[in-house]
C-alpha cells in the first residue's frame, strides 16, 4: 500500500527493470510475433543494412517498459493503461537495457509517467509516456 | 486484399482469430522474461503479448515490406487476458504519407475477446516507397 501511495506523487521514480538482450530471446520473440524479418535473425543480411548487424525487435524491448509498469501498478496497468512511445535507437544482442520511469503528473483519474529504455552506455532506445488509471 | 506496401489510408485487413495457447504464451514469456505478470493472480498473460499477437496478425494478413522500420507505437489496454482466451485482431491503415522516398504509415489495431475490446493500438512504420513496386 505504501508503494501505491508513493507512486501517485510527482517525481517518484518507478523501480527499473534491467535485462540483457540475447539472440535466443530475439529468436523466441520472432517465432511468437511472426516477425521473421532477417534484420533480427540473419547476421549476414543484417550486416548489409544501415544497422550493420542484428537488432532486437523494438516491441521486445518495449516489453520491459510494460513489465516495469505491471510491477509498479499491478492490474491497473492491464485494465486501462495507455502507452505512447517512439523507437529512437536499436538494441543488439549482448546489450543490457534498462526500462525506467518517473511520475510526471497526477490527475484525479490517472498517473502519468515519462518512460524510457536506455542502453548501458546511456543511449536512449525508446522514450515516451504511460498513463495508468488510479 | 492489399499488402502493407500497397495499402492506402482507409484500407482494412480481414480479421484474424488466435487462441492464446500454452505453447504460444511460453514462447512469448521465454522471449520477454516478464517476471511481473506472475505476481498477479488469475494466470494472466503479459499485456505486451497481446500487442505481439496483434502485430503477428497484421504481418500474416498483409506482409512486411522489405526494409520496414518500427518508428513508434501507441497501446491502450482495456482488459487483462488469460491463457486459453480466443482473440480477434483487426487492422486498418489510418494514415499514409511519403517523404524522401520513404513511406510513413499509421496502422490502427484492435483486439477483441468475443464482443469485449481488450486492446487498441497504433503502429507507426516506415518503409522504402519502392517496396511495393514489382522488380
Q: Does the residue B65 lie in any domain?
A: yes
Q: Does the residue B2 lie in any domain?
A: no
Q: Does the residue B6 lie in any domain?
A: no
Q: Which of A17, A31, A49 sits opposite B27 (nearest CB)?
A: A31
Q: Which of B27, B53, B80 sits opposite A78 (nearest CB)?
A: B80
pLDDT bin (cut points 50, 70, 90) of residue A20 is very high
Residues of chain A neighbouring B56 (CB-CB closer than 8 A): 32-35
For residue A2, the model assigns a pLDDT of 41
CATH architecture of A2-21+58-133: Roll (3.10)
For residue A120, the model assigns a pLDDT of 96
Residues of chain A neighbouring B71 (CB-CB closer than 8 A): 86-87
Q: Which residues of B39-64 are buried (b: 16+ CB within 10 A; e: fewer)?
A: ebeeebbbbbbbbbbbbbbbbebbbb
Q: What is the pLDDT of residues A22-37, one digit of tens each?
A: 999 999 999 999 888 8
Q: Is residue B101 less than 8 Å (CB to CB) from chain A?
A: no
Q: Does the residue B4 lie in any domain?
A: no
Q: What is the pLDDT of residues B40-73, one digit of tens each?
A: 787 899 999 999 988 888 888 888 887 888 999 9
pTM of the model: 0.93
Which residue range forms the structural domain that includes residue B57? Answer: 12-132
Q: Do A77 and B71 count as a contact with CB atoms less than 8 A apart?
A: no
Q: Is the pLDDT of residue B134 over 60?
A: no
For residue B135, the model assigns a pLDDT of 47
Q: Is the pLDDT of residue B106 over 60?
A: yes
Q: Does the residue B105 lie in any domain?
A: yes
Q: Does the residue B40 lie in any domain?
A: yes
Q: Does the residue B93 lie in any domain?
A: yes
Q: In chain A, what are the domain boundaries?
A: 2-21+58-133
Q: Do B47 and A71 count as a contact with CB atoms less than 8 A apart?
A: no
Mutate to test the interface with A, among B53, B55, B73, B113 (most CBs of A within 10 A): B73
Q: Does the residue B1 lie in any domain?
A: no
Q: Where are the alpha helices (DSSP H) in chain B?
A: 22-32, 47-62
Domain count, chain B: 1
A121-130, B49-58, B123-132: range with highest mean pLDDT: A121-130
Q: What is the pLDDT of residues A57-78, one digit of tens each?
A: 999 999 999 999 999 999 999 9
- What is the value of ipTM here, to two decimals? 0.91
CATH number of the domain where residue B52 is located: 3.10.129.10
Amino acid at each position: 500500500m505504501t508503494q501505491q501511495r508513493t507512486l501517485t506523487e510527482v517525481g517518484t521514480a518507478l523501480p527499473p527493470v534491467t535485462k540483457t538482450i540475447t539472440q535466443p530471446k530475439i529468436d523466441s520473440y520472432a517465432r511468437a510475433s511472426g516477425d521473421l524479418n532477417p534484420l533480427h535473425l540473419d547476421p549476414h543480411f543484417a550486416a548489409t543494412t544501415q544497422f550493420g548487424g542484428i537488432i532486437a525487435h523494438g516491441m521486445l524491448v518495449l516489453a520491459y517498459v510494460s513489465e516495469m509498469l505491471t510491477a509498479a501498478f499491478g492490474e491497473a496497468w492491464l485494465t486501462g493503461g495507455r502507452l505512447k512511445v517512439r523507437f529512437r535507437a536499436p538494441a543488439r544482442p549482448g546489450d543490457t537495457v534498462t526500462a525506467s520511469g518517473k511520475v510526471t503528473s497526477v490527475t484525479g483519474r490517472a498517473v502519468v509517467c515519462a518512460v524510457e529504455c536506455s542502453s548501458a552506455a546511456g543511449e536512449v532506445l525508446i522514450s515516451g509516456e504511460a498513463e495508468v488509471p488510479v | 486484399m492489399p499488402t502493407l506496401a500497397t495499402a492506402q489510408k482507409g484500407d482494412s485487413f480481414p480479421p484474424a482469430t488466435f487462441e492464446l495457447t500454452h505453447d504460444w504464451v511460453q514462447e512469448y514469456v521465454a522471449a520477454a522474461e516478464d517476471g511481473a505478470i506472475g505476481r498477479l493472480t488469475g494466470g494472466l498473460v503479459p499485456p505486451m503479448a497481446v500487442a505481439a499477437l496483434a502485430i503477428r496478425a497484421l504481418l500474416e494478413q498483409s506482409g512486411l515490406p522489405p526494409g520496414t522500420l518500427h518508428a513508434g507505437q501507441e497501446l491502450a489496454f482495456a482488459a487483462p487476458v488469460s491463457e486459453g482466451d480466443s482473440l480477434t485482431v483487426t487492422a486498418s491503415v489510418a494514415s499514409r504519407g511519403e517523404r524522401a522516398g520513404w513511406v510513413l504509415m499509421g496502422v490502427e489495431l484492435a483486439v477483441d475477446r468475443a464482443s469485449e475490446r481488450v486492446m487498441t493500438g497504433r503502429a507507426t512504420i516506415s518503409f522504402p516507397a519502392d517496396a511495393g513496386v514489382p522488380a
